[in-house]
Every structure is written in C-alpha cells, then in structure tokens.
Amino acid sequence: MSRFIRAALLTAAASASLAACTTMTEEEPMTASTAAAPMSATPVAVSAPLIPREVLFGNPVKAGGQISPDGKWLSWMAPYNGTMNVYVAPVSDPTAAKRLTNITDRPPAGYFWAPDGKSVMYIRDKGGDENFLLYGVNVASGAETTLTPFEKTRVQLVGASTIQKDRVLIGLNNRDARYHDVHLLDLNTGKTTLVMKNDSYAGFLADNNLHLRMATRPNGQGGTDFFPIVNGKIADKPVESTTLDDALTVRPAGYTTDGKTLYWVDSRGRDTAALYAQDVATGKRTLIAEDARADLGGTLRNPVTGEVKAYSVNYLKNEWTALDPQVKASFDFLDSKLEGDWGFQSGTDDDAKWIVWNDPVTAPTASYIYDRKAGTLAPFYVSRPDLEGAALQPMHPREIRARDGLTLTSYLTLPPGSDSNADGVPDRPVPLVMVVHGGPWARDGYGFNPTHQWLANRGYAVMSVNFRGSTGFGKKFISAGDKLWRTAMQDDLADALGWAVQQGITTNDKAAIMGGSYGGYAVLANLAFYPDRFACGVDIVGPSNLETLLKTIPPYWVPIIRQFHDRMGNPNTPEGLAALKEMSPLYAADKIKKPLLIGQGANDPRVNKAESDQIVAAMQKANIPVTYVLFPDEGHGFAKPTNRIAFSAVTENFLAPCLGGRAEPIGDALTKSTAQIVTGGEHVKGLRAPPTAQTGG
C-alpha cells in the first residue's frame, strides 16, 4: 500500500520535536494525596495576549498537503464556506489552484490520491456516525463519484498498488455490518467486483499486485491468528499466532513488491516490538531494528521495491533512523534546514519529491516541497499563520516514576512568563490541568498541541501522562493496565500529579482533569472514586457505565470484542460483570462533589450518548450540579470547527472560577454552533440553557 494512502486513512499524531529531556530522580514517588503543598497555586500574571480560540481550534488556512504519485500535482485541504475542501495545483505553478470538492457542513475524515494520479479520493461520514463512504473526484474534469453508494456502510482500504494503478482493494460491510468483504474497485468505471466474502475475519493484507496474501482473525487466547492466502483461498490453519500479551504489539507490516519478503513489527519473545524481515519461502526472520525503551513505530518504504529504508521509534520524542545511504543523506539535509522536528507527509512514486512537515513547537507547523535530486526545499504553506509571533510555549518531556516503579513518559507545558530560567519548573506553583488521552490503547506524544497551547495561554500548567495501558512502550506496559481501570491506571495519574506537586509545579488544591473518550472515563472515575483528588473535571464523550459501553459498540468491532473482555472484563460472566460495574463511575455518581462539565456528540457510535445521559441523570437525582453540553450533529469528538470552538469557550469559562485562570468571554461562540445546553448552564459564566432542554433517557 502506498505511503500517502496509508497515512491518509490512519489517524496520525504527527508531532515530535527535538527538546531537552529531564529524567526523574530516584526519590520515592509522591502521590497527590500525600504530597505536601508548600503554598496554594496562584494564577500567573500572564502578560502574553490571549490567543483567540478560533486561531487554535478553527480551520487551518491549509492542511494535509500531498503530491500526486506522478509528481504533476500538489494538493491540500483549505476552508471554503467554513468547511475544509480539497484543492489542487500543478507542481509547475502552485499559484494556479482550483477547488476540487464541494463539501458542505461536515469535513472529510481524510483524502488521498488515487494511485494513477488522475483523481483524488476522500472519505466522509454523516453527522459523526463513522460510517465512512468513499468518494472520487476526477482532477481533469472535476466530476465527482460516490464510489461506495451504500447506507450504514463503513469502507476500509485493503490495498493499493504502484503497478495496478487504476484499481484498489476495499473492504465493505454492507452485506454484514460485522465483517468487511473485500472488493476490487475499478477507478475508471467505479465498478466493484467481489474478491473475498468474509464471515469471520477481522482484516486482510494484500501485496503490491493487489493479491490477498493474509487474513487475520482473533483467537481464543485473546490474540490474533494469521492465515496465509494462496490463489484466493484462505488456509485452514494459521501460520502465525499471538496471545493476549502480544495482541497490540504484533502486526504484519507489508510485503516487498516481489512478494519475497514480509515485514513484521513483532514483540513475541521480547517486550518492545521490533522490526523483522521474514523470507516468505523459508519463514526465516531477520531482525532489522529494535529499541528497549519503546516499540518500533513507523517505516519509510521504497515506493517501487517496498523495501524498508528507514524506521522510527517514539519514546520521549519520535526519532528516525535511516538504513539506506541516500535516505540518510536526505535526512541529514532536512535536519540542517529545518528547526525542530519534521516528518514525511507524501511522496512521488519515483521517490524524487517529498512533502515534509515541520513542527518547531513554539511556532505554527509548516509544510515544504523537497526535491531530493535537486537538493532544494521550497515552502509549501504555514498551517496557521495567525499563530506566527504568538507566545507559544515549549513542551517539556518528562519521565515520572509510578509507585510500583513503572516509568510514565509525560509531557508538560507551562504558562507564558511563569518559568524565568527556562528549566521547565515555574517560578512558583501554578494551577494545572491534566489532559488524559483516549484509547486507552493509544499514547500522547511530543510536539505542537493546540490544547496544551490554549490552556497554557490561559495561565495553566498542562500535563499529559502516558499511564499504564498506553501503547508504544512495550507489551508489559500495556498489560499492566488490564482490568485495572479504576485503580492502577488512575494511580498513575495521581502519582504524576504528586510529582508535579513535589517539583513545585502546582499544588493539590489547584489541579483539574480533562480528557476525551477513555480520558473522559478517567475524569469521571477520578471525580467519583477519588472525589478529593482534583478541583474540577471536563469529560468529553467519556463512558460512565462500562457494561453498557460494551453493549453498544459498533458492529464492525465484533471481531475484536474478545480483547475488550480480556482487558476490561467480560460482561457475560458473573465475575466479569461485577468487575465492570465496580469500575463504572455511574454507580458512584453520588460521591461526586467537584464541578463537572460534560460534552457529548449525539451520534457517537463508540461511546453512546446514553453514557453521558445516565450519569447526568444520576447526578441530578442526587442533587449534584453538572453542566452538560450536547452536539446533535457530532459523533466521537467534535469535527466541525464551530462546535470545537464552542466547547472550548464553555470549557475555559468553566475552568476559570475553579482554578483562577483567565478566559476569553463566551460571546457568540455557542450561537454559531449547534451546541445544546442540556442542563447546568447557570454554573458557567456567560452560558444560558434553553428552557426546553432536557436530559436524555
């Protein structure tokens, strides 16, 4: 599969940068409940101007820059009538831009070039339901085609080719919502031809000739079985298998074009996942790269041969290592020209031209056109030019030791003017917001982070912690969180907060917690189970009842439900159901006593609206104040910029009286959005609830 197509369809956290790293000393960890606060944190007298919410959370001026496989066209996304659309321009004349799409209301989730360079393809859902359909737009004619014209269907890209450029393999679950059948899509005619009917497999792997070579299926050990496919027939027995321990750290990483080598990212027999090359004929594996600190992350492949030319490892920051001398020379050139971190964004089939992004962290990200043969680096665009000259703050990577000795890779951003000697510790303690990532099987990384910059600009220290269960740090670190959502995973957040108190960054009485998805669960769990730990909380699409969460997952997650049961609890067994209820904040909602703000998308397919409705109802029954904001046209998170801006407006005006920071007035942010104040508008300055608003069932 081509690099730019893969990148377009996967969610990328493309920000890592060069910065000093401070390792925690060897004293005993201090928890939030035991750390002694020398003084109460006081708001910083921030002299830097307020960065408007729209500048951070509105549409970028340009984003998603790519180059067509044949090197003839540049493309990017830019707003038109408030919605991001795809634009193209000839490489020979980047100023001759034309808008290629006419998208209104909801932006695409991603776009990519067809392998033949004749059309641009994009995926888009309806109202956040995550039933993504595939669309194609011919560059020459501008004609647009709905390539998967089905209802309640989620398309997957199974394979693309640098050889058969006028077709791709896609997966469609229009026959059975649980499983994706594989189809060959003809890009010239739009015709789909069934290649493989699927009644049990979670996914498929194709080679550069668009031949299916492998099928994957969960097994009874909580892991994955890998079945070879020969001449269109799936083998009866798997050729490779994993157990639960390796389920999230083993994956086939693609074939070389000649089909002789299969790359694996593999943790079997070790902790962190390493990169291996396997001889398909003999099964012999050769270790290519490893790192004891973190799993191997991405690879850079030769688009013609499919051979790995470089790999990355993301521990405190993302670091690339070149295996090919020519690629190393390119890396060295880019290192000499760009300040901060950079990364590969798109490239031509001949590998002669790259689009690279550059993240200085304290300046807006930018993209460049790199001509490898000519040795030139030309500016493409700055994503958010209004941030140029703003008081953007450095991000400090930190290693924090949990109470049982695990290392928690974390990131800290401080308010402007709070750290006069630039040592990563404020001159006096300041209020802090802990921002918890979702997943939980995901991770936080280093780089420009709009949430960090926004909250720091409002006067808060901002901390993101890779708690146990986060991915990227080896399989033991992931498994250390299994079935410990209420306890050890929250203890990690407490230990990180205790560390921040011990270091003089904040105090126990002036720390808030905020997060989305699993991060929203962490907010609810801390406020319900540990009601004195944080001063207030902001939950965004977080589950309150793990039993109902597992009952309402999307049907296409059915093939991997075993992993949820093994890592959370099985609701089909008495002990598993009891454990899920014990970890569910809903059943301790009456213990919440600190201010809580909840944001929810009505169409969320992952964390159903009922997850927010039921805890709000429970709090109201116990006469506990809560503010609940519902977006009727959103899903798992807020894709529309007007809605993102509206919720950030509510959030900063919610945090200000709790922590003492500053806030831009709400103004007309909500009237421009679809936000509905279901309840609790009186608890946030500038917020009013409509008289007819009611909580859901």
pLDDT tens sequence across 302-334: 999 999 999 999 999 999 999 999 999 999 999
Q: Considering Cα of 629, then 634, then 638, then 644, what sign does the dihedral take? A: negative
**DSSP 3-state of 418:** coil
To the nearest 10 degrees (0 to 180), the angle between helices 518-529 and 488-502 is 80
CA distance to 52, 204, 582, 587, 690, per residue, from 576 (Å): 47, 31, 10, 16, 41
Task: Dump pLDDT digits (tens) for 547-580.
Answer: 999 999 899 888 889 999 999 999 999 999 999 9
Count of alpha carbons within 13 angstroms of residue 378, beta-carbon side: 12
**What pLDDT was estimated at residue 47?**
80
pLDDT value at 6 more than 50: no
Measured between alpha carbons, how far is 673 from 668 in angstroms, rounded to an integer? Answer: 9
**DSSP 3-state of 582:** helix
**What pLDDT was estimated at residue 687?**
87
Determine contact, residues 519/512, Cβ cutoff 8 Å: no
Q: Give CA 357 to chain center in angstroms.
A: 17
Determine contact, residues 88/98, Cβ cutoff 8 Å: yes
Measured between alpha carbons, how far is 254 from 47 in angstroms, rounded to an integer? Answer: 52
CA distance to 145, 515, 613, per residue, from 696 (Å): 38, 22, 5
In the predicted model, what is the mean pLDDT of residues 388-416?
97
Q: Give CA 393 to chain center in angstroms.
A: 22
In the predicted model, what is the mean pLDDT of residues 120-128?
95
Is 517 among the residues known to form the active site? yes
In the predicted model, what is the mean pLDDT of residues 17-30?
28
**What pLDDT was estimated at residue 559?**
85
Measured between alpha carbons, how far is 305 from 8 in angstroms, rounded to an integer? Answer: 21
pTM > 0.95: yes or no: no
In the predicted model, what is the mean pLDDT of residues 179-190?
96
Determine contact, residues 450/58, Cβ cutoff 8 Å: no
SS (H, E, C) 610-664: HHHHHHHHHHHHCCCCCEEEEECCCECECCCHHHHHHHHHHHHHHHHHHHCCCCC
Is 437 among the residues known to form the active site? no
Measured between alpha carbons, how far is 633 from 110 in angstroms, rounded to an integer? Answer: 19
Q: Of 207, 225, 491, 604, which is the active-site residue?
A: 604
Report the first-to-last Cα separation within the chain, whole angstroms. Answer: 45
Query: Using 50, 70 and 90 to split pLDDT, how confident is the model at 30?
Result: very low
**What pLDDT was estimated at residue 42?**
67
pLDDT value at 35 more than 50: no
In the DSSP assignment, the letter for residue 248 is T
Measured between alpha carbons, how far is 77 from 314 in angstroms, rounded to an integer? Answer: 27
Give the least confident one: 34-43, 96-105, 259-268, 291-300: 34-43
Tell me the average pLDDT of the chain: 92
Measured between alpha carbons, how far is 5 from 192 in angstroms, rounded to an integer? Answer: 19
Nearest alpha carbon to residue 74 among 377, 368, 344, 351? 368
Cα angle, residue 199 at apex, residues 193 and 202 outer, rounded to 5°: 90
pLDDT value at 351 more than 90: yes
Determine contact, residues 287/334, Cβ cutoff 8 Å: no
| Side chain identity at residue 670, one-letter code | L
Residue 95 CB neighbours (<10 A) = 6
Which string of b and e fits 485-517 if b means at least 16 CB within 10 Å?
A: bbebbbbbbbbbbbbbbbbbbbbbebbbbbbbb
Measured between alpha carbons, how far is 338 from 330 in angstroms, rounded to an integer? Answer: 12
**What pLDDT was estimated at residue 45?**
60
Measured between alpha carbons, how far is 400 from 496 in angstroms, rounded to an integer? Answer: 7
Radius of gyration, CA atoms only, the chain: 25
In the predicted model, what is the mean pLDDT of residues 442-448?
97
Q: Of 181, 183, 636, 673, which is the active-site residue?
A: 636
**What pLDDT was estimated at residue 91?**
96
Is 211 among the residues known to form the active site? no
In the predicted model, what is the mean pLDDT of residues 168-197?
96
Nearest alpha carbon to residue 595 among 648, 544, 654? 654
- Strands of 20-100, DSSP E: 22-23, 63-67, 73-80, 83-90, 98-99
Kind of pairing, strands 376-382 and 395-401?
A: unpaired
Tokens 């026959």 belong to 175
Measured between alpha carbons, how far is 612 from 597 in angstroms, rounded to an integer? Answer: 11
| Side chain identity at residue 661, one-letter code | G
Nearest alpha carbon to residue 230 among 185, 167, 165, 280? 280
Q: What is the chain's length?
A: 697
Q: Of 161, 383, 464, 517, which is the active-site residue?
A: 517
Task: Dump pLDDT digits (tens) for 219-256.
Answer: 999 999 999 999 999 999 999 999 999 999 999 999 99
- Strands of 402-438, DSSP E: 407-413, 432-436
| Side chain identity at residue 310, one-letter code | A
**What pLDDT was estimated at residue 44?**
64
| Side chain identity at residue 57, one-letter code | F
pLDDT value at 521 more than 60: yes
In the predicted model, what is the mean pLDDT of residues 182-210?
96
In the DSSP assignment, the letter for residue 586 is G
CA distance to 175, 299, 339, per residue, from 185 (Å): 16, 27, 42
In the predicted model, what is the mean pLDDT of residues 382-398?
97
Domains of the chain: 3-7+61-383 (2.130.10.120), 31-54+388-545+584-683 (3.40.50.1820)
**DSSP 3-state of 192:** strand
Measured between alpha carbons, how far is 384 from 51 in angstroms, rounded to an integer? Answer: 12
The helix or strand, by DSSP H or E, that contains position 253, with its residue range, turns out to be strand 251-255
Give the least confident one: 39-53, 294-308, 544-558, 672-686: 39-53
Tokens 């998805």 belong to 517
| Side chain identity at residue 353, one-letter code | K
Determine contact, residues 645/59, Cβ cutoff 8 Å: no
Task: Dump pLDDT digits (tens) for 361-381.
Answer: 999 999 999 999 999 999 999
pLDDT value at 692 more than 90: no
Count of alpha carbons within 13 angstroms of residue 579, beta-carbon side: 17
